[in-house]
Chains A and B, each alone.
Chain A
């Protein structure tokens, strides 16, 4: 086609790969190099699936970093600080008590404590920002959320190493009990939130989302101090599988996204009431538009639903390998199905029936309770094949 070129000069977006800059490429090369290094060093400990997971993870992380640029920096800091801490350990677990940096900053437990503290402070800051509208406080809140997330990841990665220091046969990815997955829950929820915060350029949903994270932190601390849950324990045979590395994180993207949607639902309902009572009021003015919150809620549930579907299917595949059947109506399995059906119905109502407004928001809030029951309630109240993380 002979279209005069000058017409096309209007800033057409170049294809995606041409938009990548030098930092993107260095980032990708570092990740690839890192995974090749890990492969060379530890391939003796990995089976074929785990090698696949290693490189798959590297590729996914590259993709995430390319699409959402701040992730590159986050990953960089996490990697550097975790490696620093792991290096301080050497082969001696006792370093956790003797070394200053480990003891006060970067041992698995210390980093987790920092994460907890930062999340709580970020929550306060978001609330201050919400009520005062002070932009600087908002920025601080965001920074603290990023820092908390980094600390959470560092805590988990260092803990991963610590499990191996307990004994080569004890070593395992730290997503094996309720303590560890609560950390995972907090940081994944925070990450999803940070993504939307940037995308929609508003901080006024932060207070609500961080509230659910703070609740998780409260539980985490109680669990840590009352039940000694931070202790590293070896895995029961049923959990020794590469499936854990993909099944659990996929699940927590689901849980995190659902929790986020529910908290946006709360904000939506508050705004809805406020607008009706006093459209010019402070509350109505400070919260984002109903339209936008509806959109975030829907996007988040869609994201959660997609990952939760994958997680459930992975769970079924794992069950087929460990328990002798891909579906046994075990309470955890069944509750996953309930959660899934609930959000399937939600999505149908919104997309097919065109349902909008407070009803959907209420439904998303109720969905959190259903999710919560599947997450912790099943472990507390019901017995079954899945009762690994007991209270």
Chain B
């Protein structure tokens, strides 16, 4: 379009195609659509989740189309390359036009074409051409126009131009776009993708120690132009590698220096919300005379040798925990203290065989919003449940349940409970076992009660005593009947110990005809409660609590809560209760390390883009022409102008210019 070329060469056709506005807009819209998909369809999730969501057929289709990692898909990259190509061709073709626009005054315009413009006017004057020329030139200069004059023998042309930088706005914007694309390509990690295709590197998928990762999954500092990786450092720990996540595996990226974490701190607002995360880092580098100490926090990274170190997350760095194991389903009240660190595991020998204990995490604070009533009482918006830890107990066949135990009793409805959450899959929420704390805020009474109920000899004695007492009331001394009642008491207790009231219910459903079930259930509950209550009284006596008069409200409530808790133990799944007795907190800081050498190129592109946009929008580009032509002894003036944008505004401006021009030349 810039050269009147009759014969189109193949190159011309290609340029025509790439430089066409239609292609450009198509690409813009296509990228926009792809981006929409990328935000609506969650990216980089485990394949299983997708299969569940979409079914195998669509999963296959989506996977083939690369929809799960759109921004890394080949076709998306191709779109971006097309954009760059199209914009480049556009620049190649339009820049000469723009430059010409900026320099040429078009002094050869014809009067006829001026008269055809939408902003045009002619008038005559008595003044001389030279004089008019001077006046007009001066006037236009004041109005910000640059002017040129050309003599065409029978007429003269004065051409003025203003706002030519508007034209370079085009160049700035579009070159800016290419520059920023180049910058972001540099940082896009395509180098790694290519290395992976060509088989130079293969991501590691096993969970092994970093120094055991084979060479094929390791990158030397000079191997990657750009990357984005992370490492979790425990306090006191140091590292000279970072991990790069690659789909379901990872690569080990070596750094030319080592990072040590001296200390990690979390600060909280008075409300309990986290206020800041800070890591004190020490950089060890042969290039440094002495190690570099620097604190990083969110929004305040450390940039060192082109690597940026960010405070990204935090976690447990292997806190040492002392756990007290209380056996469930046992008559012995014997505890075992276990020392273990977070992320470690060890075997547990129990009455029910061998288990594996895996400690996953430890948390110093557990902060929850208060309900409205709690807010009214405490005046605080948040409450802190204190330290907790999570762990798994895995049986010999490899099946594991996950647990979440708080160290301290938690107040609920004015009662205090040791909370232990349990779940068998990650997908479900924790179900909490509420173990009541006794008057010393400890587990002792509950555990003693539990053990007593599991002690066949002592429980039987209590059963006998209570049956005797009950029968003496009604004066019955039938030994056989007594024994029968005691036996059924003990049977019920066994059932209760196994699975709480629901175990008894199940038993009734299996053995008793339907029409009698309700009656039997009521009788059973009565019998069992008698035993449970008497056991509890016996326990209180043993503790030295006065029981002759009324039992205190606290002790009554404790009984109720303990019975509900026993009922839950059957489904608890672990043969022990693990109480957090003591801990030594060791935090870890999640540090993100990136290298983006294209960043400044990207910013340069952005800057050009912004400058260009403002030039295009806010510098108005205007041209005007005057043709001075002597006619019948007078001077005929034809004035016309054009603005490339905002025709309305220009029309107004032209009106003013024209009326001025008419005035000063008449």
Q: Which of A's residues lie within 8 Å of B, judged by CB? A: 1-3, 7-8, 10, 12, 167, 169-170, 233-234, 236-238, 240-241, 243, 291-292, 295, 298-299, 302-303, 305-306, 309-310, 313, 316-317, 320-327, 329, 331, 334-335, 337-338, 341-342, 344-345, 348-349, 351-353, 378, 382
Interface assignment of B269: CB less than 8 Å from any CB of chain A: yes
> From residue A240, how far is it (CB to closest CB) to chain B in Å?
6
Q: For the complex, what is the distance from the CA of A325 to the CA of B592, rounded to whole Å?
A: 10
Q: CB-CB < 8 A to A345: which residues of B?
A: 25, 28-29
> From residue B202, how far is it (CB to closest CB) to chain A in Å?
25
Residues B38 and A237 in contact, CB atoms below 8 Å apart: no
Residues A322 and B298 in contact, CB atoms below 8 Å apart: yes
Residues B35 and A338 in contact, CB atoms below 8 Å apart: yes
Interface assignment of B554: CB less than 8 Å from any CB of chain A: no
Q: For the complex, what is the distance from the CA of A177 to the CA of B457, rounded to whole Å?
A: 65
B645 touches which one: A306, A309, A351 (CB < 8 A)? A351
Q: For the complex, what is the distance from the CA of A310 to the CA of B612, rounded to whole Å?
A: 12
Considering only CB atoms, which chain A residue lies closest to B25 in the complex? A345
- Assuming the contacts A234-B273, A348-B21, asked whether A331 and B28 have C-beta atoms less than 8 A apart, the reply is no
Q: CB-CB < 8 A to B610: which residues of A?
A: 306, 309-310, 313
Q: CB-CB < 8 A to B71: which residues of A?
A: 329
| Total interface residues in chain B, CB < 8 Å | 60
- Assuming the contacts A8-B139, A10-B664, A306-B617, asked whether A324 and B310 have C-beta atoms less than 8 A apart, the reply is yes
Interface assignment of B31: CB less than 8 Å from any CB of chain A: yes
Interface assignment of B425: CB less than 8 Å from any CB of chain A: no
Question: Which residues in chain B, 581-595, are within 8 Å of chain A measured between CB atoms?
Answer: 592-594
Residues A295 and B299 in contact, CB atoms below 8 Å apart: no
Question: Which residues in chain B, 1-57, are within 8 Å of chain A measured between CB atoms?
Answer: 21, 24-25, 28-29, 31-32, 35-36, 38-40, 43
Residues B228 and A325 in contact, CB atoms below 8 Å apart: yes
Residues A341 and B298 in contact, CB atoms below 8 Å apart: no
> From residue B511, how far is it (CB to closest CB) to chain A in Å?
52
Interface assignment of B274: CB less than 8 Å from any CB of chain A: yes
Q: CB-CB < 8 A to A291: which residues of B?
A: 648
Q: CB-CB < 8 A to B138: which residues of A?
A: 1, 3, 8
> From residue A388, how far is it (CB to closest CB) to chain B in Å?
13
Residues B310 and A323 in contact, CB atoms below 8 Å apart: yes
Chain A at the B interface: SS class: helix
Question: Which residues in chain B, 580-626, are within 8 Å of chain A measured between CB atoms?
Answer: 592-594, 596, 599, 602-603, 606, 609-610, 613-614, 617-618
Q: For the complex, what is the distance from the CA of A345 to the CA of B32, rounded to whole Å?
A: 10
A237 touches which one: B275, B308, B599, B649 (CB < 8 A)? B275
> From residue A169, how far is it (CB to closest CB) to chain B in Å?
6
Residues B299 and A238 in contact, CB atoms below 8 Å apart: yes
Interface assignment of B142: CB less than 8 Å from any CB of chain A: yes
Q: CB-CB < 8 A to B602: which residues of A?
A: 316, 326
Residues B275 and A234 in contact, CB atoms below 8 Å apart: yes
Interface assignment of B276: CB less than 8 Å from any CB of chain A: yes
Considering only CB atoms, which chain A residue lies closest to B39 in the complex? A331
Residues B613 and A309 in contact, CB atoms below 8 Å apart: yes
Interface assignment of B232: CB less than 8 Å from any CB of chain A: no
Interface assignment of B646: CB less than 8 Å from any CB of chain A: yes
Q: CB-CB < 8 A to A341: which residues of B?
A: 28-29, 31-32, 35
Considering only CB atoms, which chain B residue lies closest to A342 in the complex? B32
Q: For the complex, what is the distance from the CA of A334 to the CA of B43, rounded to whole Å?
A: 13
Proximity bits, B117-154, A CB within 8 Å = 1, else 0:
00000000000000000110111001000000000000
Considering only CB atoms, which chain A residue lies closest to B661 in the complex? A10
A382 touches which one: B39, B301, B310 (CB < 8 A)? B39
Interface assignment of B549: CB less than 8 Å from any CB of chain A: no
Residues A10 and B38 in contact, CB atoms below 8 Å apart: no
22 intermolecular pairs with C-beta atoms under 8 Å apart:
A1-B134, A7-B135, A7-B664, A10-B660, A10-B663, A233-B271, A236-B274, A237-B297, A237-B299, A240-B299, A305-B613, A306-B614, A313-B603, A313-B606, A313-B609, A320-B599, A321-B300, A324-B592, A326-B184, A326-B596, A329-B35, A334-B35
Q: For the complex, what is the distance from the CA of A140 to the CA of B43, rounded to whole Å?
A: 52
> From residue A235, how far is it (CB to closest CB) to chain B in Å?
8
Q: CB-CB < 8 A to B297: which residues of A?
A: 237
A240 touches which one: B134, B270, B298 (CB < 8 A)? B298
Q: CB-CB < 8 A to A241: which residues of B?
A: 299
Interface assignment of B277: CB less than 8 Å from any CB of chain A: yes
B25 touches which one: A7, A169, A313, A349 (CB < 8 A)? A349
> From residue B493, how far is it (CB to closest CB) to chain A in Å?
50
Interface assignment of B81: CB less than 8 Å from any CB of chain A: no
Residues B594 and A325 in contact, CB atoms below 8 Å apart: yes
Residues A302 and B660 in contact, CB atoms below 8 Å apart: no
Interface assignment of B312: CB less than 8 Å from any CB of chain A: yes
